[in-house]
């Protein structure tokens, strides 16, 4: 593009000055356009490949997870916790709501797909499927289901070892925690017989940390 600083001295007469300027301009525009058109596919080649997409969705067998048990599995290089909650555990969710200590009890921040926008933050109340990452600074919170295991008034939930963020058994953040949001719930669905769950992808609006 250095040729544009050409002065009229190179020319023997100024008769074709306009024509030359026009040619320089159009050649430059077409040249820059071609460079841009080549750059787009090259950069797009860095996007996740079809192999990554195919590996993104994963199915897990729920049969071994008995009531009150949990399993944490790696999914898309992130820990995902699956909890089979007992009726007693589910009862703590209303109890915690009554105390009024939750930052976002009604899940108004889209940290979960719309079909999980309820107090259980789940498709089926007993099954919690959640990305086990603290929304504060990405640590993995401890799972503390027992009452009074963290503090005297603890009803059961998640406790982050890094900066002490606390969550209830639905992953809703408790006031006074540094974490801003409830933990994220990915998109998932159960098999027709309900014996397995398939996690398909991250809910796009959810904020991990």
Partner 1 sequence: MRKTLPRAALGPLFALATAAHAAVMKPPVAPPSVPFTKATVIAGAQFFADHCSACHAVSNLRYKRMGADLGLTKAMIKKSFMKPGGANYLKGMRPAMTQAQAKKWLGLPPPNLSHMARALGPRFLYTYLTSFYWDPKRPSGWNNHVFPNVAMPYILAPWGGIYTKNGKLLVPGRESPAVFDRHVADVVAFLRYASDPSVFERRAIGRYVIGAFVLLSILAYLLKKDYWRDVHDKEADSHSQKSATIKPARKG
Partner 2 sequence: MSKVIDWFNARFPAREMMREHMTEYYAPKNFNILYYTGSLLLLMIALQLLSGFFLMAHYVPTSQDAYNSVQGIMYDTKWGWLVRYMHVDGVSLIFILLYLHMGRGLLYGSYRNPRELLWVIGYLIYVLMMGEAFFGYILPFGNLSYWAGQVITSIIHAVPIIGPGLTTLARGGPGVGTATLERFLALHTVLWFLILAACIGLHILALHKVGSNNPDGIEIKDRKGADGTPLDGIPFHPYYTVKDIFGVGVFLTLFAAIIFYAPTMHGVFLERTTFFRANPMVSLPDVTPPWYLAPYYAMLRAVPNKYEGIVLMALAVVLPFFMPWLDRCKVRSSRYRPVYRFMILLMAVTFFTLAYVGEQPPLPKYFLIERLGAAIYIGFYLLLPIISRFEPTRPVPERVRS
Active site positions, annotated? 163
Which of partner 1, partner 2, none does residue 47 bind (CB under 5 to 8 Å by kind)?
partner 2
Which of partner 1, partner 2, none does residue 45 bind (CB under 5 to 8 Å by kind)?
partner 2
Is residue 37 at the binding interface for partner 2, with CB under 8 A as the rule? no
Build a one-symbol-per-residue string for 102-121: x at contacts with partner 2 by CB under 8 A, - elsewhere.
--------------------
Total residues in contact with partner 2, by rule CB under 8 A: 15
Applying CB under 8 A, the span of 36-44, 127-135, 187-195, 199-207 interacting with partner 2 comes to 36-44
- Give the burial class of 54: count Cβ atoms within 10 A of its Cβ; 0-12 exposed, 13-18 middle, 19 or more buried: exposed
Give the DSSP letter string of 57-117. Answer: -EEEE-TT--TT-EEEEEETTEEEEEEE--HHHHHHHHHHHHHT-BSSTT--S-SS-GGG-
Angstrom distance (rounded) from CA 160 to CA 76:
21
Applying CB under 8 A, the span of 45-53, 93-101, 109-117, 133-141 interacting with partner 2 comes to 45-53
Task: Considering only residues 47 through 66, tell me which ones interact with partner 2, judged by CB under 8 A.
Answer: 47, 49-51
| Residue 174 per-residue DSSP state | B
């Amino acid at each position: 593009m250095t040729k544009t600083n050409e002065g009229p001295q190179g020319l023997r007469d100024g008769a074709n000055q306009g024509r030359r300027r026009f040619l320089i301009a159009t050649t430059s525009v077409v040249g820059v356009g071609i460079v841009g058109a080549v750059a787009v596919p090259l950069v797009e080649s860095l996007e996740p490949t079809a192999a990554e997409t195919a590996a993104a969705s994963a199915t897990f067998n729920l049969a071994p997870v008995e009531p009150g048990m949990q399993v944490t599995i790696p999914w898309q290089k992130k820990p995902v916790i699956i909890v089979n909650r007992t009726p007693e555990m589910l009862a703590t969710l209303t109890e915690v709501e009554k105390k009024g200590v939750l930052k976002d009890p009604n899940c108004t921040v889209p940290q979960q797909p719309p079909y999980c926008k309820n107090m259980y933050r789940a498709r089926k109340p007993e099954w919690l499927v959640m990305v086990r990452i603290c929304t504060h600074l990405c640590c993995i919170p401890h799972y503390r289901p027992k009452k009074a295991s963290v503090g005297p008034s603890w009803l059961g939930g998640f406790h982050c070892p890094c900066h002490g963020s606390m969550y209830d058994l639905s992953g809703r953040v408790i006031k006074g925690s540094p974490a801003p949001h409830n933990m994220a719930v990915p998109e998932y669905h159960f098999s027709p017989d309900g014996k397995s769950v398939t996690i398909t992808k991250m809910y796009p609006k959810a904020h991990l940390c």
